[in-house]
Amino acid sequence: MKNLLAYISFFLIPGAFWAQTDSLRLHTLQTVFLDVEPLRKALDDSVYVFTDSSVHAGAQTLRDQIFLSTSLQIREYGNGMTAGISMRGASPSHTQVVWNGIPLNSPLNGQTDLNTLSILLADRLQVYRGGMSMLYGSGAMAGAVVLENRMWAPAPPLLVRLGYGAFGKRHVAAKFRHRQGRWAGYAGGDFLNDANRFRIPEKNYVNRHARRLQYHYNAGLGYRSDRTEWRLEMFRSRSDRLLPGTLTTSSAARLLQGQNRYVFTAESNPGTAWQWTARLAHTDESYTYFHTGTDVPSGRGKAVTRMAIGEVNYALQENRHWFAKADLRRIDAESMAFGPHVRTTLRLLAGAGGRKGPWQWETAAGALWYRRGHSPLTGFVYGAYRPDKRSRLSLNLGSNYRLPSFNDLYWQPGGNPSLLPERNYEAEAAYRRGGKHAYVRAAFFYRINRNLIRWKPAEDGLWHPVNILSTSGYGAEWDGKYRLAAGRSNWCFSGHYVWQRIRNDHTGKRLSYTPEFLWNLSAEWSRRFVAVGLSHRFQSFFYTDDLNRSYLHGHRLWNAYARIGYGGWQLTAGVDNIFNRYYELMPGRPMPGRYFYSSLQYIWK
């Protein structure tokens, strides 16, 4: 009973850790998680998966984990500043981030800042690429990042983590889980204090006025009956950052952000022909911006989303099923740049799938309606062939869309209420072979994007968003992992490689901000309670304008770490950017050089 009261009281905490509670409300937008097991297995063709045990020791945020462990491109406006994922030449607003079935992309600007999400926010992190990401709705044109808390899955009851790093970084995190009979719950939180002050001698630059403070806490409470499972989950965060400017400009502007998400889920227990899920959610977000040297807000905005989602799956036979989903939501948004506006959307999705011998297939189609009358149609067709238990050949055709953000539509001066939804079409062929200790996967894709939104200067001297940009391109991706036991030692090798050629159809040139090559290679040796790891990340140069006249140099980063564990304790020390290379992820915004970090973690098993 004490544990139950503790969980309930955690939901009622007013969140008065920050003084600006009223001005820091927060968050979300359009897309929902379809929890159908056959589809999840099909999606494994294009997925990175991370769990609590595979979190990088130097990672405090979702951005850190993805940048240090994959070959995905991160677009980041300075160290610790706004960051998003770019997949297959698409912008960060074309990757949807989902937490326990709730979309996190902001209705205001259309994307999620990965530097504001804690790595301990969920038990499992999955990154999907390809056409089947249309299951996650608007904003998932290139892929989706899915965060899940698995209440009833086996997990350590307590995890505590202390982190210390160069440039004045401090990090504290804890997570508690408990199961008793039909009840289960979790609670966790973290706090990050980062002075973020570093020097770039060759550029005569000091990254000053870049301090960031942020915290988050989340909790969940669940109950299982014989037929139904109920879950109530929440997540809240606050972020306070100073924006340092660029190599040629100085700034000490301040940005406050807040996020609150609450979701109630009821779903049937597995084991019956009929499976259903129902969700009710309330989410809100806010931001407040202060110019350098002033305490008077120069920018402020907020958005509130309410949603109701229903999903059903029916197994016609042992190897055939169909599914359907209805998603209704209302978004209320306003800012100092535009007055209050409301968007109500209804999305319907239906599909079917099956398996016969070595063949598997899945297909789905959906449409969305909202007040302005546009109804983007989406869909995918997936087929796979397994010549044996360790191999799989697959083909995936899909299309998706993204609705314009509130800033695109209504920002004054410059917004364009006549914008059309962005569209994309994608084809992917993949081959995967592997087993318990090793696997290799190769994928080839071709994608077309239409009606992409770009802000352009007009005759009135103002910048306006227009549906002007169309892109097309192709590429290949390779992923692999190999585990080897040699005597008392264990080795693990992994690699991710991306090659892509994306073209701006308007200019005939290569698409700006899109490198042609990216890779991430890593190796780890471990023996008993000791482990040592080394990784190498490479990103080629990319152009920064539509006519390919200016560009940003590529970079090579070497990282290393050593870990010692005993009982439930684990001590890790590492260094990123060993050779102190200068690099930028966005023009004029240098990233730090050689960076040392350490962490102490305790897991009570």
Taking residues 254-282, what's their average pLDDT? 91
**For residue 57, what pLDDT band results from cuts at 50, 70 and 90?**
low
- Residue-level pLDDT at 47: 62
Among 144-148, 162-166, 200-204, the minimum mean pLDDT is found in 200-204
In whole angstroms, give the CA distance from residue 494 to residue 523.
7
Out of 22-26, 293-297, 353-357, pick the least confident: 22-26
Residues 6+ apart with CB under 8 A from 408: 110, 415, 416, 419, 453, 465
pLDDT at 46: 55
pLDDT at 17 over 50: no
Nearest to 383 by CA among 370, 369, 393, 372: 393
As a whole number, mean pLDDT of residues 566-593 equals 91
**Average pLDDT, stretch 468-484?**
90
pLDDT value at position 49? 64
The residue among 179, 27, 57, 183 whose CA lies nearest residue 120 is 57
82/72 Cα distance (integer angstroms): 16
**3-class SS of residue 586:** strand
- By mean pLDDT, which of 53-67, 332-346, 574-588 is the weakest? 53-67
pLDDT at 15: 33
pTM of the model: 0.86
Q: Which of 293-297, 298-302, 403-407, 535-539 has the lowest mean pLDDT?
A: 293-297
- Per-residue pLDDT band for 25 (boundaries 50, 70, 90) equals very low
Structure tokens at 576: 């990123």
Q: What is the pLDDT of residues 65-116, one digit of tens each?
A: 888 878 888 888 888 888 888 888 888 899 999 998 889 999 998 889 988 8
Residue pair 580/145 in contact (Cβ under 8 Å)? The answer is no
Once rounded to an integer, what is the mean pLDDT over residues 285-301?
89
- Mean pLDDT of the region 159-164: 91
pLDDT, mean of residues 294-321: 89
What local confidence, expressed as pLDDT, does residue 352 receive?
Answer: 93
- pLDDT 10s digits, 29-56: 222 222 333 344 444 555 666 655 556 6
On the 0-12 / 13-18 / 19+ scale of CB atoms within 10 A, 518 is buried
What average pLDDT does this structure show over 107-134? 83
User: Among 375, 343, 378, 379, which Cα is nearest to 364's?
Assistant: 379
How sure is the predictor about 11, in pLDDT bands with cuts at 50, 70 and 90? very low
Distance CA 121, CA 146 (A): 11
Q: What is the pLDDT of residue 22?
A: 27
The predicted-structure confidence for 198-212, as pLDDT tens digits, reads as follows 888 888 888 887 889
| Spatial distance between the Cα atoms of 389 and 358, rounded to a whole number of angstroms | 9
- Kindly tell me if the per-residue pLDDT of 566 is higher than 60: yes
Mean pLDDT taken over the chain: 84
Written as one string, the DSSP assignment of 145-207 is: EEEE--TTS---SEEEEEEEETTTEEEEEEEEEEEETTEEEEEEEEEEEE----EEGGGTEE-
* Least-confidence region, from 59-68, 296-305, 378-387, 413-422: 59-68
Q: What is the per-residue pLDDT for 119?
A: 80
d(CA 503, CA 452) in angstroms, rounded, equals: 13
Quick one: pLDDT at residue 28?
Answer: 24
Share of the chain above pLDDT 90, in %: 46
- The CA distance from 17 to 19, in Å, is 7
Tokens of 1: 């009973």
